[in-house]
Chain A
Amino acid sequence: MYDLFVIGAGPGGYEAAARAGKLGKKVALAEKQYMGGVCLNVGCIPTKTYLRSAKLMTDCREASAFAIDVSAPRLDLPALAARKDRVVGTLVKGVETLLKRSGVEVIRGHARLTSRNTVEVEGQPCQAANILIATGSRPAVPPVPGIDSASVVDSSSVFALKQIPGKLAIIGGGYIGLEFASFFAAAGSEVVVFEMLPQIASGCDRDIADRLHRELRRQGIAIRTSVKVTAIEKNVLHFTEAGGEKGRFEADSILNATGRQPVVEDLGLERAGVDFDRKGVRTSDRGKTNVPGVWACGDCTGRRLLAHAATREGIVAVNNMFGREDRLRYETIPSVIYTHPEVASVGWTEQELEAKGIPFKKSQVPMAYSGRFMIDNPQGTGLAKVLVGARYGEILGVHVLGDSSSEFIVAAAAMMEMELCASDVAGVVFPHPTVSEAMKEAILRAAE
């Protein structure tokens, strides 16, 4: 009898298993494919490895601005894939070590619930007082004829490409599509992004999304919004524009980046009576499902679909299952788009506040306010946008467009977690010169 049985070794599952193990609980973890999950193997980590090289390509091209003479750079894709594999390999070993040190028993194979406290892995039943479903998500497949053509790759299989495509069509202008657009454009592809909505980076504050759009276009990425992809024939993509005009685009490769789908099938959820649908397993902000003893975290809940959200959800579930009250505060979870330039955000967007009718004040500071940003980005532009409550000045949202914002957005998240008001931030010392000073300035201006 286990205290906890975790299904899925992604950032939600393995962190939760390790935490429970460290609490002295008897824990098992089942994984059918990748230790570390999508994030480590075909998601966050591989894409960031690729994007790091892309950034270096860009830097080399712009090296003269830094007084360095560099000949035209050339990307060696197989060598990059090998580097990615080394990085992933090291991190996967780290996960395995963590689980081992925490006393977690790792079981390889497909796990299914057979009751509310029994899991079966490859025919072997395991009893558990608590079951944590952390099965993650997979790339969504839109109902477009020809989406299964050989020329179409998704965010996992794209890493198997042997060469940089000359022409790349990307279906979807969300964070996945945009990050790959950033990479392939830097690597030399002619990239066209097809987005169904009028705005790219859906969910992002509009001012930030519009600026990112302009910046990516300046880098040579073609972005077509309000466009619906209607069919794929071999390597030709057919689409309809908002006005009804039809068009076609011939590409060497087509990347399907239309989002991610929670993995909820073939898990025995129906048998255990767990409430779920194709949008995910329904959970409370404490990680509980409708069935006592069955918990869920991460992408399979369909809530935030971010690795760090999954980790926190898993920890919250473990805390609650072993008697420590905890809950998730979704509004303070930051998110990042690792394009060049990066977008980092936490909290509400201006559009969300308007829709909710929350009175707010806003401030916007160009990133060039920061000396360090000017040094780092001879051509770059960017924006720090801050939204605070009209009455008390509590920080409601911080949105930054500009490289290295992913590294300091956590400061804003911490401020929001502690419910600091904008004027309180005057007492927080930011190192100089850093890019984060632009964010501080935006917060202080919002306090005025």
Chain B
Amino acid sequence: MATPVEMPKLGNTVEEAILVSWKKGKGDKVSNGEIIAEIETDKATFELPAPVDGTILELFVKEGDLVPVFTNVCAIGEPGESVESLRASGGDAPPAAGAEPPQAVQSAAVPPRQAAAPSSAVDESALSPRARRYLRQRSMEAPPVAGSGPGGRILEQDLIAYFAANPKVSSLARKHMEEGYEIRGAGSGINGMILARDLDAPGQKLPKIREIIARRMRDSLGSSAQYTLSASAEATGLLSLRARIKAAAGRAPDININEMVMFCTVRALIEMPELNAEFINGKIYRRAGINLGFACDTEKGLLVPVVHGCENLSIAEFAARVKELTRQTIDGTVSPDNLTGGTFTVTNLGNLGIESFTPILNVPQVAILGVDAIQLKPVRRGAGVEFVDFIGLSLTCDHQVIDGAPGARFLKLLREKIEQVESLAELNL
């Protein structure tokens, strides 16, 4: 009996995943634990190991398919074993590329055409939807071609056959167009024939993670009323604490300035829980626990790992957790559960020298803190002026639920926390 390989459930919130690529093909011998495919959730990429030794008898899904969890993606067994019973049931398998959708309904409305009599002026309604799209994508007009569909309807395949046989597009250009190249303008060949040089390279499809980021950002701006407040906090305490930690290297936990600022944010949120909330379908949900997300720049794009239950963590525990999650996120080994459940987010561009910016809300959260660079500011002290280090803070709130004044009060509170970081940290250095 062949063994099915399921799409695993990669975390409590994961319902489906993309099979990005097969590392093994039909007929390949695999051993238990050998990687057979790469899969991607909306959070991260994972490898799918073979559960048993054997031969891959059949692949049930194609690369790029979105597959519900616990669905069989392939079968492993001895050559010759039947696998049909393991194939995922249901008719939702994507249609084969190039297949024309059924058209019985549409064609009933189309008067029968003389299939054998191509005319020079082609009636748009004689084109199937796919044929219309084929022409639109290539900025081409309908050619005088006899349709082979019901009632003489012109199908995409009729157009492909026509353009393949017609010197309007050169053989080389056609090969490029099959790979998605698009016609830019008029053909520059003899009689306006379209040559390869008249084509533009196809646009690149976004990787899954980028698609998700794009959708989230669009949704964020489309569903909230965002405003950003900027302020700065004296950073003397942060710098001094950091210097003391460095001096005590080995004897003290390693905590960097970003972790200190995030820890201060947690402390401020404990006192002002209205910003530790989510706004969903017109209802505000104040979250009891503080799950602090932090933006993490990875090779694949932005990911936001979440430190759960921050209110119960010491600064050392908090910093260690941030470091652990950062490493896992960059390695791609972070659990999807650690990429969800955030109640407030911090994003830091200060290390890149950014002095002020407008963070985009991680909806449905109602606020996000941007951490900016540390800069010297002149401060009046008695009769003189001193230059003091300040760290910039950019707080974006959803005006639907957080007005400007509470937003500003939160920033004021956060500034105080940052300026008192040395006592808040409660470290014996």
| A interface residues (Cβ-Cβ under 8 A, vs B) | 325, 327, 329, 389, 392, 394, 417-421, 424
Contacts and interface: CB of A to CB of B under 8 A. Distances in A.
A417 B190 contact: yes
Interface residues of B, number: 14
B190 A419 contact: no
B317 to A, nearest CB: 55
Contacts of A327: 188
A419 B195 contact: yes
B175 interface: yes
9 contacts: A389-B172, A392-B175, A394-B172, A418-B171, A418-B189, A419-B172, A419-B195, A421-B172, A421-B175
B127 interface: no
Given A418-B170, A419-B172, A420-B171, 6 more contacts: A392-B172, A392-B175, A419-B173, A419-B195, A419-B196, A421-B175
Nearest to B176: A392
B207 interface: no
A417 B188 CA distance: 11
A389 B172 CA distance: 10
Interface string B156-196: 00000000000100111101100000000010111001011
A387 to B, nearest CB: 14
Contacts, number: 33
B427 to A, nearest CB: 59
B184 to A, nearest CB: 15
Nearest to A419: B170
A327 B197 CA distance: 13
Most buried by A among B171, B175, B188: B171
A418 B176 contact: no
Contacts of A418: 167, 170-171, 189-190, 193
Given A392-B176, A394-B196, A421 B171 contact: yes
B198 to A, nearest CB: 10
A390 to B, nearest CB: 13
A55 B175 CA distance: 45
Contacts of B170: 418-420
Contacts of A424: 171
A392 B170 CA distance: 12
A417 B175 contact: no
Interface string B184-218: 00101110010110000000000000000000000
A218 B15 CA distance: 79
Contacts of B189: 417-419
Nearest to A394: B172
A424 B196 CA distance: 16
B171 A419 contact: yes
Contacts of B176: 392
A420 B171 CA distance: 5
A356 to B, nearest CB: 15
Nearest to B175: A392
B168 to A, nearest CB: 11
Nearest to B193: A418
Contacts of A329: 188
Contacts of A325: 186
Nearest to A326: B188
A353 to B, nearest CB: 16
A392 B189 CA distance: 19
Contacts of A392: 172, 175-176
Most buried by A among B170, B172, B175, B186: B172
Nearest to B195: A419
Contacts of A389: 172
Contacts of A417: 189-190
Closest 10 CB pairs of A and B: A419-B170, A419-B172, A394-B172, A392-B175, A424-B171, A421-B171, A420-B171, A419-B195, A392-B172, A421-B172
A33 B172 CA distance: 46
B196 to A, nearest CB: 6
A84 B189 CA distance: 38
B164 to A, nearest CB: 11
A54 B25 CA distance: 66
Most buried by B among A325, A418, A419, A420: A419
A79 B170 CA distance: 50
Contacts of A421: 171-172, 175
Contacts of B188: 327, 329
A421 B189 CA distance: 15
Interface in B299-314: none
